[in-house]
Amino acid sequence: MTATTARTGVPPEGIPPQGAPDRGRLLLAVILTVQFTVALDMSVLNVALPDIRHHLGFTATGLPWVVNAYALAFGGLMMLGGRIGDLAGRRRTLLAGLVLFGAASATGALAQEPWQLITARAVQGAGAAALAPVALALITVNYPAGPARSRALGLWGAAAAAGGAAGVLIGGLLTESAGWRSVMLINVPITLVTLLAARKITGDRRDGPAPRLDLGGALLVTAGTSALVLAVVRTETLSWGSSTTVATLALAALLLTLFVGVELRTAEPLLRMRLLTRRPVVAANVFMLLLASAQFAVFYFVSLYLQQVLEYGPAATGLAFLPFCCGIVVGSVTATRSLARLGARRVLVSAGALGAAGFGWFALVLTADGGFATAILGPSLLTSIGVGMSIVPLGTAATADVDPREAGMATGLINSSRQIGGSIGLAVLVTVSASVTGGHGGGADEALAAGYRAAAAVAGGLLMVATLLALLLMPPRRP
């Protein structure tokens, strides 16, 4: 054992210790389960919302907060969660996040009033904000750059994207067979098993005193990102031009500007600004923001199309998302195998082009007289392969040349981009869809389908912009 290993408990360059393959497999299994679960809960309750409204007596304006409370806490606390992992130890942060997430899931399943479920979802989001960046940071720290990290990132990406798609599938099946409470309860056994496994992961150790938490930066970025997500998610009931929305967006801009100022003057910042001078990191975060804006929204609109236009039940709607899950796995495997040969830039540009083509295909075929074979199967596969291919190069670029002691900083940033992008994109495309539907002169189904097609077209445009930016910002592959 080297001196470095003896002092820190982490092998040089993050290489898993020799003679401990089981430990490496256990670590990866924990990471993948965590990422799948937090992504799952972004969409798992969407199909169950009508059942929740019926049993708990939600109002029409209160029901969206079952989803928004999770998104708000998740997006607002992500940067803080990643940095706490750097400072307090990733194993300790992971265990605390699992306990918080599991307890909130059990509490939410027992809710008897709307406010109880909304509170539980917010606490779930706080737990997820600790789990998601730590999961990615554990890959960055424990796997050296090269094929080993690419394989781990490929599996991480498949788990993240498949979790979002599988959420609709699992939520639909559970809601129809056992009711909405089972959708919350499914997290409890998963969390317990993961918690027991995570306790066996080697803990972080460091020499000397731990760095101090940038409390001022943490408060500012948490308040700023929360205000941004809050302003966006409330546009379902308030217009973009309303005084409340404009004031909340202005507050978010002010808080985030103050955050940048504080970080530039702090010795141990929450986010080191020089990280944003690296072109791969900037390209990865912008691409992730635009990709999530498109992906989250299209999942939402395809789910509505299946239920409101094609009149699928919850279980059938969930099963219709199986092609998404399969395509994501195919895309992740493809990217993992081709990253070393082609480089992150080529893989990412190819992935973006495929995903944009899939969104464009949706924009052509989501018609009132469509069906699964004509409107869902083909574009679902093309879109999901593109999404799955993009995750591996994004994870590589977002953590390129980052000091292991600041891995949580970089992974918190890329996860924040994903979460905030998803919230903003969904709110914007809901507005686009509603305006087209409201101005359509045909029947109800035709009007709804027209709105969904318009949203898919805009999603395709967003991903094309992301692809062009990746082409410009990502450095070419070095020999």
Residues 317 and 385 in one domain: yes
What are the start-end ranges of the H helices in 399-476?
407-438, 444-473
Residue 254 has pLDDT above 50, yes or no: yes
- Position 1 scores a pLDDT of 38
Q: Which residue has the higher pLDDT, 117 or 152?
A: 117
pLDDT at 8: 37
Report the pLDDT value the prediction gives residue 222, as an integer from 0 to 100. 85
- From the number of C-beta atoms within 10 Å of its C-beta (0-12, 13-18, 19+), residue 117 rates as buried
Q: Which two tokens stand for residue 369?
A: 């007289």
- Residue 195: how many CB atoms within 10 A of its CB? 17
According to the per-residue pLDDT averaged within each range, which of 2-11, 282-291, 324-333 is highest?
282-291
Q: For position 238, what pLDDT does the model report?
A: 81
**3-state DSSP assignment of residue 38:** helix
pLDDT digits (tens, 9 = 90+) for 330-355: 998 898 888 888 888 999 999 999 99
Q: Which of 215-219, 288-292, 343-347, 361-365 is least confident?
A: 215-219
**Do residues 167 and 312 share a domain?**
yes
Q: What is the mean pLDDT of residues 425-435?
A: 86
**How many structural domains compose the chain?**
2
Q: Does 284 have pLDDT greater than 60?
A: yes
pLDDT tens, 266-276? 888 888 888 88
Q: What is the average pLDDT across 197-223?
A: 75
**Closest Cα partner for 348 from 289, 261, 283, 302?**
283
- 83 vs 90: CA distance, rounded Å: 9
Split at pLDDT 50, 70, 90, the class of 479 is very low
Instruction: Kindly tell me if the per-residue pLDDT of 95 is higher than 90.
Output: yes
| pLDDT reading at 13 higher than 50 | no
Q: In this predicted structure, what is the pLDDT of residue 214? A: 84
Write the pLDDT tens digit of every residue in 378-421.
Answer: 999 999 999 989 988 888 888 777 777 777 788 888 888 888 88
Whether residue 4 lies inside any domain: the answer is: no
Q: Is the pLDDT of residue 360 over 90?
A: yes
Q: What average pLDDT score do residues 115-138 get?
A: 92
Instruction: Tell whether 13 is covered by a domain.
Output: no
Residues 376 and 430 in one domain: yes
Residues 91 and 225 in one domain: no
Does 3 map to a domain? no
Q: What is the mean pLDDT of the chain?
A: 84
Query: For 233-241, what is the mean pLDDT?
Result: 81
Alpha-carbon span 269 to 272, nearest angstrom: 6
User: 7 lies in a domain?
Assistant: no
- Binned at pLDDT 50, 70 and 90, residue 169 comes out as confident
219 compared with 233, residue with greater pLDDT:
219
Cβ–Cβ under 8 Å, residues 316 and 172: yes
Residue 219 amino acid letter: L
Predicted local distance difference test score (pLDDT) of residue 366: 94
Q: In the prediction, which pLDDT does 461 show?
A: 96
Q: Are residue 262 and residue 302 in the same domain, yes or no?
A: no
For residues 223 and 100, state if they share a domain.
Answer: no
Claim to verify: residue 327 and residue 289 sit in the same structural domain: yes
Helices (H), 89-209: 90-109, 114-142, 147-178, 180-185, 187-198
State which residues form the domain around 318: 21-202+270-473
* Lowest mean pLDDT, pick from 45-49, 181-185, 433-437: 45-49
Residue 6 lies in a domain: no
What span, in angstroms and rounded, lies between the C-alpha atoms of 96 and 208?
23
Task: Decide: residue 274, CB within 10 A, 0-12 exposed, 13-18 middle, 19+ buried.
Answer: exposed
Residue 312 lies in a domain: yes
Q: Is residue 241 part of a domain?
A: yes
Taking residues 447-458, what's their average pLDDT? 94
Confidence of residue 21 (pLDDT cuts 50, 70, 90): low
One domain for residues 352 and 237: no
Do residues 281 and 186 both lie within one domain?
A: yes
Helix/strand/coil for 56: helix
Q: Among 4-8, 99-103, 107-111, 261-265, whose mean pLDDT is lowest?
A: 4-8
Percent of the residues in the chain that have a pLDDT greater than 70, as a whole number? 92
The band of 30, judged by pLDDT with boundaries at 50, 70 and 90, is very high
Q: What pTM was estimated for this model as a whole?
A: 0.81
Same domain, 242 and 147: no
Task: For residues 185 and 164, state if they share a domain.
Answer: yes
Secondary structure of the chain: what % helix, strand, coil (to 5)?
80, 0, 20
Q: Any idea what the CATH number is for the domain that residue 463 is in? A: 1.20.1250.20
